[in-house]
Amino acid sequence: MRIGKVSMIWTRIFRTSTDTLLAAADEELLGKQLRDGKYRLNISENFYKDVLVENEAFKDLLSLCSVANLVGEKCIGIAIGSGYISKENVIYIQGVPHAQFTTME
């Protein structure tokens, strides 16, 4: 039983022959369209919504992907805390953090 509202993260994995892309968005942002100057971001169900996860499962997914597209305070905070992105590489669209990263072997 959950006490209070626990924010979770929507995730979807896309695989190609060479990469694993993780799309992730904070639960409450799904379906929103953000616009701020030259930046536009559609947080669509088609791209982000597949599996709803908590923090530890999200950290596991970050470790498995070679490319990530992240949006929201929760998932960006976890990615920063886990060393996948730095604060300097985060942009804000209508006050919502967004970042992407890729790993190279």
Average pLDDT score over the chain? 92
| 72 part of a folded domain | yes
| 2 part of a folded domain | no
- Number of domains into which the chain is organized: 1
| 3 part of a folded domain | no
Cα 6 to Cα 54: distance, rounded to the nearest angstrom:
9
Q: How many CB atoms lie within 10 A of CB 49?
A: 17
Q: What is the CATH number of the domain that holds 20?
A: 3.30.1860.10
Indicate the pLDDT class of residue 6, thresholds 50, 70 and 90.
low
Supply the range of the domain harboring residue 19: 9-102
* pLDDT at res. 86: 96
Q: What angle do CA 104, 96, 39 make, to 5 degrees?
A: 75
| 45 part of a folded domain | yes
- The pLDDT > 90 percentage for the chain reads 88
